[in-house]
Amino acid sequence: MSTSTPIHVAIIMDGNRRWARKHKLALLLGHRQAAYETIEPLVDRFIEREVLYVTLWAFSTENWQRSKEEVEGLLNLFRETLSKNFEKLHKKGVRLKTIGDIEKFPKDIYQKLINGVEQTKNNEKITVILGLNYGGRDEIIRAVNQHLLNRPLTTDNRPLNAEDIINALDTSGIPDPDLIIRTGGEKRLSGFLLWQSEYSELYFTDVLFPDFSPEELDHALADYASRKRRFGK
């Protein structure tokens, strides 16, 4: 793998609903297009480009605030696609992981996620991490609470340090993203990987996620390769 190739790429998959409106379709069909037509070709290209970790933000902690109809539609889409897509990715040698508080999902969806992670845990081609019921502030709060809960009763009262937080984050054991891509034209992170994005390179594109093709990914990777990373030095 070239040093100009990121080890970990994360994507804020924005623009599904606007894609549906653009094509005069029901909003859920934008999410369906992304799930069925966009993600798998991108994973294939990531494998070709020897990217080792990919994080896809699929559902945020704020998405529960959308209309009941849209939330129920998304949950049903998860039910419909998780098993099918997981099986395809498993055959490609993909290891699946999740970040976010997935226990908040209905039990059947939660179990599908747990089963997919378990089924693919020994795969080594690439690791695909799904951000589900994920929010950066929520993750940090859960990490701090988890650390405090796990402290031995005999511990001293030393302050928390960075290593304590890192070890308690959902991404423990996963390298921080080298590149974060946001599709859909917005130029903000919206709380995505707040801790982990400290030195991530950012790439924003107006392309709506359902139209974010492997060729568009190549443009983002070429832009990344042209940058000189200093990490504050």
* Catalytic annotation, residues: 14, 63
Phi and psi at 152, nearest 5°, equal -60, 145
Burial grade of 188 (CB within 10 A; 0-12, 13-18, 19 or more): exposed
Phi-psi region of 231 (alpha: psi -120 to 50; beta: other; left: phi over 0): left
Cβ(179)–Cβ(199) below 8 Å: no
- Strand 94-99: give its sheet, edge to edge: 94-99, 126-134, 53-60, 8-12, 179-182, 201-204
